[in-house]
Structure 1
Amino acid sequence: MNGCSRLNTPEDVIQRLDAVDYLADDGLAMAVYLALRLGKPLLLEGEPGVGKTAAAKALAQALDTPFIRLQCYEGLTAGEALYEWNYQRQLLHIRLAEARGSSVDDADLFTTAFLQERPILRAVRHDGPTPPVLLIDEIDRADDEFEALLFEFLGESAVTVPELGTFAATRPPVVILTSNRSRDLHDALRRRCLYHWIEFPAPAQVAAIVRRAVPGATVPLIRSATEFIGTVRGLDLDKAPGLAETIDWVSALAALGVTELASGDVLRTLGTIAKTPDDRALIADTPVTTPRARRDHP
């Protein structure tokens, strides 16, 4: 189980993630458990802000193991993701050898002493007692060609350096990939991974998550704010607020001393949940349901 024997059941996953303040549902817990049990990468998809990145961070905490993150972006190269050579040290080595009257060949220059580990190779060569959690975040932001660089690693937990050969992990890392579906991923990448779609949580789950993240917020504020977010997410928005925005919003409201949500509070803090002018206008026009209104209209 990749050295992760402390998580022997999906229920163990839920409990240990709960202990680090990440509330996982049964579906995510099963996906994580099977990924650990089978030693397979796990691809998490879902709307931005539903907790994909946070799940990987929490898993590393739950396993008490190092967390390694590769943030993907357009133009990401093998040198930035897998490894590259320390050309400055190689040049210095050449000059020192010349000063001593010695010759230098490729065998002297292309050794592990001059190899710079980037996140993926660092995860493969990790020699700790437990495997690290490697997060390949927002893989959909990288180019199609970059996915092909990952096939060997995802399938075999190995990285080939032409000058040195293949490095295979003695303890395969726990690999989590995330995607916001800004483009379709290659079928070959999907075949190498287990898969789980993270839904935006139900209102009660959102309230429980916010309560953990913003302990200073009052129960009435959390209840009214999460109900408002649920209403807002039903609008035709350019970017519906996710969990991250909800937590930021409630944090802002609590910092302002708000204990029960009112329309004026929404208008003052719109920048935390509305990310475009059109969304700002739509959200500003959305009525806030007060406790009195809930009593009058059960």
Structure 2
Amino acid sequence: MDTPEELASGLSATGYLPDGGIATAAFLAVAMGRPLFLEGEPGTGKTSLALALSSALDVPLIRLQCHEGIDATQALYDWDFPRQLMHLRVLESSGSVDEASLYTRRFLLARPLLQALESAPCVLLVDEIDRADDEFEAFLLEVLSENAVSIPEFGEVRASVPPLVVLTSNRTREVHDALKRRCLYHWLEHPTLDREVAILRRRLPDLSERLAAQVAAAVHRLRAMDLVKPPGVAESLDWAQALLALGRDTLDTESAAATLGAVLKYREDAERALRAGLAG
């Protein structure tokens, strides 16, 4: 794919409808071999873009889900101790103990980062990097800079082709500048009304233009409210799908109230939306 427009077409074929900014950022990440750092509110399609890139480029997707307390071992590798122990017992029974044979590739359990280095070309999704701590962030920066890791008992593993790295952040905390400098950066907004209607109709072909427009308009109203958890595109799709499952062809007050659990996940949000007459 030699242009942003070609990549946009490839992404669109997977069901992901990018705007010009997203397509250009993704194209530059591919063309320049740079990680792509996606930041934005939950539900703006950051993770979905990585999935679509994997499909459009026809390469595997490897996902590293970050969380509080994640460390290098959980992200990189571990040793298969039970199999090593069995192997050691076999060696002892034959009287030929060779400890070096315990640390070969057959006993190495590859976690997402090592999988990505060994499986490249691939898309490596580092999801919600803002949940990890500073130490893990520094470790990740080193891996991304070298596209290689050194395993003391085994040796160096270097990617023959660097993976396409997509990092996402919901901005629960600021990620350090050193990591951002290594990446191309793009802020994702919620889709415009017209684009959200297009997404709904692309993903749900049985959805009428009228109902798609009503759902998208109602979701945009919800996002403008002071909610605990504003709905993302995934919730828009769930809401529209719930209405289809009930055989509804319009979003009125009754159908909105009956299906509100598909789009809002907190009681306070649901009460606020109902008071505001969200379908009105």
TM range, normalised to the smaller chain?
Answer: over 0.9
Matched, 1:81 2:71: no
Contact 2:117 2:163 survives alignment (8 Å): yes
Helix, strand or coil: the match of 1:182? Answer: coil
**2:224 is paired with a residue of what secondary structure?**
coil
1:125 to 118, 121, 128: 118
Secondary structure in structure 2 of the residue aligned to 1:37? helix
- The answer on whether the counterparts of 2:72 and 2:139 sit within 8 Å (CA) in structure 1 is yes
For structure 1, the 5+ residue unaligned runs are: 1-6, 291-298
Deviations 1:240-293 (A, max 9, x none): 111111111111011111111100111111111222121111111223566xxx
The separation in 1 between residues aligned to 2:92 and 2:278, in whole angstroms, is 76
Q: Provide the residue aligned with 1:92 in structure 2.
A: 86
**8 Å contact 2:221–2:278 — kept in the other structure?**
no
> Any idea what SS the aligned residue of 1:241 has?
coil
Identity %: 49
Equivalent residue in structure 1 for 2:229, among 210, 225, 239 = 239
Give the equivalent residue in structure 2 for 1:139.
129
- 5 Å-filtered alignment, 1:76-225, equals 76-105=70-99, 107-126=100-119, 131-225=121-215
Residue identity opposite 1:73 in structure 2: H
Which deviations, in whole Å up to 9, do the C-alpha atoms of 1:6-29 show, x marking residues without a partner?
Answer: x21111111110111110011111
Structure 1 residue identity aligned to 2:116: A
CA contact 1:124–1:158 (8 Å) conserved in 2: yes
Return the match for 2:57 from 45, 60, 63: 63
TM-score (norm 1): 0.90
Specify the alignment match of 1:34 in structure 2: 28
Q: Distance in 2 between matches of 1:22 and 1:43?
A: 18
Matched residue, 2:256 = 266
SS in 2 for 1:233: helix
Identify which range, 241-250 or 94-103, moves more after superposition.
94-103
Q: Is the 8 A contact 1:31 1:196 kept in 2?
A: yes
- The corresponding residue for 1:281 is 271
Matching residue's letter, 2:45:
G
TM-superposed CA distance for 1:152, in Å, is: 2.1
What stretches of structure 2 of length at least 5 have no aligned partner? none
SS, match of residue 167 in structure 1: strand
State how far apart, in whole Å, the 2-side matches of 1:241 and 1:142 are.
Answer: 24
Identify if the C-alpha distance between structure 1 residues 274 and 288 changes in structure 2 by more than 3 Å, giving closer, same or farther: closer
The whole-number CA distance in structure 2 between the counterparts of 1:114 and 1:274 is 46
What is the distance in 2 between the residues matched to 1:184 and 1:83? 27
RMSD of aligned residue pairs (Cα, Å): 1.4
Q: Within 1, Cα distance between the matches of 2:267 and 2:97?
A: 65
Kept after mapping to 2: 8 A contact 1:261/1:288: no
Q: Which residue in the other structure is 2:218 paired with?
A: 228
* Structure 2 counterpart of 1:203, one-letter code: L
Q: Distance in 2 between matches of 1:28 and 1:119?
A: 25
Alignment partners' CA distance in 2, 1:12 and 1:84: 40
Paired residues of 1:270 and 1:284 also in contact (CA < 8 A): no
Equivalent pairs counted in the alignment come to 280
